[in-house]
Homo-oligomer: A and B are copies of this chain.
Amino acid sequence: MEILLTNDDGIYAEGIYRLACALRKAGNVTVVAPDTQRSAVGHAITLTDPLRVTRACRDGKFFGYAASGTPADCVKLGIKAIMKKRPDLVVSGINLGGNQAYNILYSGTVSGATEGALLGIPSMAVSLDTFVKPDFRPAAAFALKLAGRVKRKGLPAGTLLNVNLPNLPAGKLRGVRVTTQSRTSFNDWFDKRTDPHGNTYYWMTGDYKPKDPDEASDLNALRAGYVSVTPIQFDLTDYKFITELQNWDIKL
């Protein structure tokens, strides 16, 4: 199996290293990842600037291609300019930090996998729901297992898997749940501060531990110690509202 691997924490992050090591048991892994951290870039692509690609080593050996772009750029580059064969699977991660609820809209990790799905390749994003003391090994092992399953079963065109794990040792994980994207919003705000030169600046911060009334959500699975696997897709049309909007009878 040919696997294209990317992330948004950058090619030198620990998460992508653990994931590459695991996925090599399933096939040929080509890493194309941002040369620096690109978190919260959303589904950005680089149109106005050229992209540079360099060879990156880890442990003194060739590890993959470092690109001066976003995760979506890396997936496009991997498929359209770097890999000789079209990949069977695109994997993005392992992200340091969960990508659940509306967070997935901001997520570079998810956007890497989305780009794979848009290009017609089965894809998945893998994130670890912590910013402290991450243990990536259970996530890497689960991603390997799920990769095999996706290869055998396939995914519907345009659908990808968004996988999140709580930061627990393998023996403490309670199981796997197929989940929905939580519709719960995070509560964020700006710290207004003054720099050493007397100028105002703003820094976004927030409380990222909301509750969710929806039992089936990714947020609730993670809180309860389960791996969450959410199938997502990118036709954003609100079909339920189409008829009512037609009844507005909007004219020029």
- Which positions in A face B, CB cutoff 8 Å? 37, 39-48, 50-53, 70, 72-73, 76-77, 80-81, 102, 104-106, 111, 114, 118-119, 138, 142, 145-146, 149, 153, 155-156, 158-159, 161, 170, 173, 175-176, 178, 180-181, 183, 185, 188-190, 192-193, 195, 199-204, 227, 229-242, 245-246, 248, 250-252
- 5 closest Cβ pairs, A-B complex: A42-B42, A42-B43, A50-B201, A232-B236, A42-B44
Contact B252 A176 (CB under 8 A): yes
Contact A230 B237 (CB under 8 A): yes
Distance in Å: Cβ of A164 to nearest Cβ of chain B? 13
Cβ 8 A contact of A185, one of B53, B118, B231: B118
Contact A39 B47 (CB under 8 A): yes
Chain B positions within 8 Å of A146 at CB level:
250
Contact A80 B40 (CB under 8 A): no
Chain B, residue nearest A155 (CB): B241
The answer for the CA separation of A155 and B244 in the assembled complex, in Å, is: 10
Cβ 8 A contact of A235, one of B156, B173, B183: B183
Instruction: Using known A-B contacts A53-B202, A76-B188, determine if residue A238 contacts B233 with beta carbons closer than 8 Å.
Output: yes
